[in-house]
Amino acid sequence: MPAPKAFLDWIDANADRFIQRLAEAVAIPSVSGEFARRDDTIRMMHWFEKQLKDVGVETKLADLGTQEAGGKTYPLPPALLGKIGNDRSKKTVFIYGHLDANKSDGWDSEPFELFVHPTNGQLIGRGSTDDKGPVLGWLHVLEYHHQHNEPLPVNLKFCFEGMEESGSLGLDPLVISESKPGGWFEGVDCACISDNYWLNTRTPALCYGLRGQSYFNIIVSGPGRDLHSGIFGRTVHEPMTDLMLLMSKLVDSQGNILVPGVEDLVPPPTAEELKLFESLDYGIQDVEDAAGGPIALSSDKVKVLMGRMRYPALSMHGIEGAFDGVGSKTVIPSRVIGKFSIRLVPPQTPELVAPLTIKYLEDEFSKMGSRNTLEVKLVKKGHPWVADTNHWNFEAAKRATKVVYGVDPDLMRDGGSIPVTLTFAENLKTNVVLLPMGRGDDGAHSTNEKLDRSNYIEGTKLLGTYLYEIGAS
């Protein structure tokens, strides 16, 4: 059942108004990782609740509790639940998205003022592609049907949150509770998430797998206070020196994880998998264009793609407590925290990987003979997820993509993590498809995050067409 031509034409006719709505959403600096902007994140949830109510959606703001940090207690943004339609002859589709955004430093424009590029139409603003643009795409689909008094082809249930960029705190218990008989999510037949991206800038994609994540802090402490290097250098055990040595033992320059046993958990690829990776419309040039430099680990396309999608990856993220300002400072920090994460793939889990990693770091530290103290903490975790691409949910998404873009989508596993995806799959007991709106160069967590105008508008058509294809399944 193709989407009505009147719907597709209406999307085109309202494109400028949709861009203005995105500007309103971007203007709310809902940065979940900054406590100073927690009120803005809560305001974002209320703003979108009103948008949903205006198009006939029954809503509920679900309290997720509080968050403790730095000796203070902060309220978590409420989850926004919605539902529309109760026709037992129609399938019920579950939709998830998030309305919080990442921190923003070093931008060429004001990150919370949507900048429409005058020549290429890019919509530049924090949260434009991750995930406010896709979430608004669902709203536009609802608006058409509400405005024209047209019945939706499916029943819909929604869950939108404001803490995805900070580990979806508080959401898992809600999903588990609302998935039980009598809960808000009861009766769901399939699920769709639009919170990822094409592999490149050319070919639409469907995602059937995500890496999990184990995020660690390495805490090294020693002196009772920061020290002067002219007085104490080569006199005491320095925490920063110990931390650098430890972090250098985690991964080599080719991306190989040095923690014993971690890579051994992953079986070798099958011939079918290798064929699939070879078929993807993605090359080394795409990697380097997206990265902004000729720095790919290999010239072998399949090897690089499997490094992104099929194998685990260990990345360094920062050091807390060390001098990082402009100029020179000869301090010896008394306490430093090294931050790194391991992206996980099936059958790896945080429960399997964390003990291996912590023991390895403790063993290496004991060999150093340092009199400093070490603590290794697992501070955030998420499980990997893989779905069945032959399910009718994926078949509907494939057909919708072909209708809107005229080509078959790439089937890909994403290197990133959306931990709640597995929670939905396990508790809703249904298939989940990831249906991207944005392109591979959107820079979701980077400076100058953007969403191309064409992807925003055609992506909205894709979301609506997907629902019509589900209705015909």
The structure tokens 């990822």 sit at 196
Cα–Cα dist 398/389, whole Å: 10
Left if phi > 0, otherwise alpha if psi is -120 to 50, otherwise beta: which for 289? alpha
Contact 30, 44 (CB under 8 A): yes
Q: Phi, psi at residue 193, to the nearest 5°?
A: -125, 130
The enclosing H or E element of 135 equals helix 133-147
Residues 6+ apart with CB under 8 A from 385: 209, 210, 212, 421, 422, 425, 432
- The one catalytic residue among 100, 238, 414, 449: 100
In our burial notation (b when 16+ CB lie closer than 10 A, e otherwise), range 322-354 reads beeeeeeeeebbbbbbbbbbbbbbbebbbeebb
- The one catalytic residue among 131, 161, 164, 364: 164
Cα–Cα dist 174/416, whole Å: 23
264 in active site: no
Q: Phi, psi at residue 279, to the nearest 5°?
A: -80, -15
Sequence letter at residue 213: Q
Contact 52, 42 (CB under 8 A): no
Query: In the chain, helix, strand, coil percent, each to 5?
Result: 35, 25, 40
Contact 325, 182 (CB under 8 A): no
The structure tokens 């994880």 sit at 257
24 in active site: no
Contact 99, 161 (CB under 8 A): yes
In our burial notation (b when 16+ CB lie closer than 10 A, e otherwise), range 77-93 reads bbbbbbbbbeeeebbbb
The enclosing H or E element of 350 equals helix 350-368
Residue 102: half-sphere exposure toward Cβ, Cα within 13 Å: 17
Beta partners for residue 366, in sequence order? none
- How many C-beta atoms surround the C-beta of residue 392 within 10 A? 14
Q: Phi, psi at residue 176, to the nearest 5°?
A: -60, -45
Active site residues: 100, 164
